Amino acid sequence: MLLILLALALFAGCSRKSEQTQPGAGDKAAEPAKAKAAVEAVRLLPVKQDAKWGYIDAKGTLVIAPQYDEAKPFSEGLATVRVGKLWGYADPAGKLVIQPQYKEALDFSEGLALVVLDGKDWKSGYIDPTGKFVINPQFRYGGPFSEGLAFIVLKPRRISVASPLVWTESGYIPGSPTERSVQPGEYSYIDKSGKMLIEKPVADGREFKDGMCAVMINGKWGFLDKTGKLALDPQFDDAFSFSEGLAAVKVGKKWGFVDQTSKMAINTQFDAAGDFSAGLAPTQTGKQWGYVDKTGAVKITPQFTQARKFSEDLAAVKTGKQWGFISTAGEVIINAQFDEAGEFNGGLAKARAGKKDGYIDRSGAFVWPQPKQQ
């Protein structure tokens, strides 16, 4: 029997200034400079050039020379970067302020970042922007802090797949998997002191949004509040985090949206659904995607093969095999022309078209790679 180890770490954290644990006169004087650095860092985006990673600004100008083996976007004034096999953190000047020493590292969120120690034992904890452990390494894995709480993995989920032996001229070989069993993991939530929110671990969970988080208990999904109590009883076959007051939930094979009182705000009717943003949520009906408002009324008719949530009033949508962008009114702003496209952030969006792989502005023009580099 083949065992495949899966550890969840699917969260994208929300951003704010790092908190000072022992503020003094010097710390207060440095706060405006740190805040300015954090704002400037938001405008820096990771790019790859000649097998190394650096950072550009919103105009596509290279401001941190390519020098890292891998780099992630800045978060709260620091960027997670890899040198060799280990991860550390760099500031907006490109200086390594926390030396590469971790097997894995997440972005800073609400002043803390999860890091995994280098070594055979998979131990992770949370550090502050100075690199000091605030929550000592003790968990298998975890996610970013959101609304003061973080999702942690105590025991990963295991999936067992049985492959029968099949006779060939070369002898017996493993055939196609015919049996699949899932051994539930153990997951929980902690606050910034490392204190557990719930006494009994759950089988799965998502990050806190709007004061609640989706958790799996006995094979069904419900929602916890920030005190660790069940706010919505486990009753759904799947569930996402709340967004703009509603959460996508699955009953049987169909998706709908529930509010925080457990009332179905939009009845289950969709084949798939995403998060609300700008008052609209992407939903799939049959093979086509469109957008509905919070009453469930169709605002953008299903017509796309894929659709993402809105960001900065634009959403990436796929028509056929190519991606473009539409407005909240459904108007095409950037024609479908990309092989892949992400969300806009700071006026730029990740995009790929053939050999061009970089960032575009709101007109659809590449700011990176620049014309001379193409």
pLDDT in tens, 250-278: 999 999 999 999 899 999 999 999 999 99
10 Å CB burial of residue 194 (0-12, 13-18, 19+) is middle
The residue written with tokens 């289950």 in the block is 268
Determine phi and psi for 25, rounding to 5 degrees: -60, -40
Beta bridge partners of 277: 280
Instruction: Give the start-to-end residue ranges of the domains of the chain.
Output: 305-374
pLDDT digits (tens, 9 = 90+) for 159-174: 555 445 445 444 444 5
CATH class as words, domain 305-374: mainly beta
10 Å CB burial of residue 28 (0-12, 13-18, 19+) is exposed
Tokens at 325, concatenated: 């962008």
Do the beta carbons of residue 293 and residue 280 sit within 8 Å? yes
CA-wise closest residue to 6 among 228, 147, 157? 157
Tokens at 350, concatenated: 């990740």
Do the beta carbons of residue 307 and residue 291 sit within 8 Å? yes
Q: Based on C-alpha coordinates, what's the Rg of the chain?
A: 23
pLDDT digits (tens, 9 = 90+) for 189-248: 999 999 999 999 999 999 999 999 999 999 999 999 999 999 999 999 999 999 999 999
Q: Is the pTM of this model over 0.85?
A: no
pLDDT digits (tens, 9 = 90+) for 333-353: 999 999 999 999 989 999 999
Element (H, E) at 31: helix 25-42
Element (H, E) at 40: helix 25-42
